[in-house]
Amino acid sequence: MPIAHELTPEATNPEPGRVILLNGTSSSGKSSIAAELLTTLDGPWYHLAVDHCHRIRSRHPWTENEFLPIFQRTLLGFHRMVAGMAAAGNDVVVDHILSEDWRLTDCLEVFAGLDLYYIGIHCSLPELERREADRGDRTTGLAALQYPLVHRHGVYDLEVDSEKHDPTTCATKIRTRLTQSPPTAFPTLRKSFG
């Protein structure tokens, strides 16, 4: 790795990076698709996952009431971390679970002005429950709780089915979408959410 003594012009005056936002329930395959995208997209891309932020937080025996604002601040900070990376000229693949309106509305505000492709990751509930049981590292019933909530706004730039297609095929569909028309989902959702 080179040792840089001065910032290059490319680093100090970047065009904002692109964002691919993968939205789906726990165990829907977002991380596997993100990993595949990083191996196939041109140029440097970064995978930022909301789970990573939860894993690096300190552990204490908080009550549910104590933990709720901590959890919410984690998500709000995650959105701003993604926006900061993109604002600095980095292309970012994000995996997230937008299961509550405030999560989506905050993203709509914080990601304004970014070239963001909003991708829905679908999978049937029985398959989600099977994956959840096989993984053994998720709270049982988490996917079922999120399932009716995460896609209810119904507007995407592209939707893929991770049950019918493997991560490589899903990533190929997403990569192809980047070469087509500009993204429209977030501008449309901004009008809906005011």
Catalytic residues: 51
What average pLDDT does range 169-191 have in this prediction?
A: 97
Domain boundaries, the chain: 19-193
3-state SS, residue 91: strand
| Alpha carbons 150 and 139: distance in angstroms, whole number | 17
Q: Is 43 within any annotated ligand binding site?
A: no
Q: Is 30 within any annotated ligand binding site?
A: yes
Q: Which residues contact 122 (CB under 8 A, 6 or more apart)?
A: 24, 28, 151, 159, 160, 161, 162, 163
Q: 103-144: per-residue pLDDT in tens?
A: 999 999 999 999 999 999 999 999 999 999 998 777 788 999
The superfamily CATH assigns to domain 19-193 is: P-loop containing nucleotide triphosphate hydrolases (3.40.50.300)
Bridge partners, residue 91, by sequence: 45
3-state SS, residue 97: coil
Q: Is 29 within any annotated ligand binding site?
A: yes
Q: Which residues contact 64 (CB under 8 A, 6 or more apart)?
A: none
Q: Is 99 within any annotated ligand binding site?
A: no
Residue 1: per-residue pLDDT: 62
- First-to-last alpha carbon distance for the chain, in angstroms, is 46
| Alpha carbons 110 and 9: distance in angstroms, whole number | 26
Please give the model's pTM, rounded to 2 decimal places.
Answer: 0.93
Q: Is 25 within any annotated ligand binding site?
A: yes
